[in-house]
Structure 1
């Protein structure tokens, strides 16, 4: 008898033990294993389903986000354009106002300069008249301040000078 040819009673006892172990496994363990595998498969499929649902929800939210972002960008562009137009209008208004103020200041300055020129000319004429009268009085040797004709002569002289200046211009 050898290892390939065992004795019959041992073979029968071995087969009975083997089939009893297989029967116990088939009756007790295989249904539990099947149940566990089925639960795991259901859990995996449920997880995949939930993952797909979450992924679809994420895509929907992302699409909404993109739409809102696009709308916000469009609104920002409109706000920038409106601000640019308002700024240009405000700048034009300020420039026009500044131009009016400038023209007003120039006109006021011209008026003031003309008034100052007239006053300076009158003062200068009076000073020239006083100096001329004093000089003439020194030359003659008597004061000429009380001569009524001196004022008329000086006014005639200044009128002639004014006419000559006007004709040269």
Structure 2
């Protein structure tokens, strides 16, 4: 039964050992353990604050990125719109310029054709006159080959002169 119920001396020495151990722990281990726990608590608190700050910075960066992205989209749309307008204007200007050049070329061609037509008509008139002179000369030579025909022609001219 001694094992079940401890004696007073055993209780005294166990209590004395426990108190001595408690004193040694309080004297040498308690303060470093509390300091370590306080340090750990501070580092955890700092890490939580840093995480919260990082989360806030990420939210700000995300909002800023969204804003920049929206501005970039607007700028892109503006640039595309200006490019399309410039392209349409260039095409329209090119069409107008081509129309002007085409009209000018047609006018120039008409003028050249008219000039060539007049030159051709003048050439035809000159050729007709030359042919007429040739034919007349040949006819007169043939007609006036004998002296009798020459006299008749002179008489006819004289009659015509007198009538006028």
TM-score by length of 2: 0.67
Distance 1:13 1:128 in 2: 162
Displacement of 1:59: 0.7
What secondary structure does 2:61 align onto? helix
Displacement of 1:38: 1.4
Kindly indicate whether residue 61 of structure 2 is the aligned counterpart of residue 61 of structure 1: yes
Distance 1:32 1:68 in 2: 52
Distance 1:121 1:91 in 2: 44
1:42 is aligned to 42
Displacement of 1:113: 0.8
1:78 is aligned to 78
1:29 is aligned to 29
Displacement of 1:84: 1.1
Larger radius of gyration between Structure 1 and Structure 2: 2
1:109-132 residue CA offsets vs partner (Å, 9 max, x unmatched): 111111111102211332344356
Query: What 5-or-longer segments of structure 2 have no aligned partner?
Result: 143-164
1:62-101 residue CA offsets vs partner (Å, 9 max, x unmatched): 2022112102211220221122123212321231122122
1:92 is aligned to 92
Kindly indicate whether residue 117 of structure 2 is the aligned counterpart of residue 117 of structure 1: yes
**Equivalenced residues, count:** 141
Displacement of 1:54: 1.9
Displacement of 1:133: 4.3
Distance 1:12 1:44 in 2: 43
Distance 1:62 1:9 in 2: 73
Displacement of 1:37: 1.2
Distance 1:23 1:75 in 2: 75
Distance 2:138 2:42 in 1: 138
Query: What 5-or-longer segments of structure 1 have no aligned partner?
Result: 144-169
What secondary structure does 2:108 align onto? helix
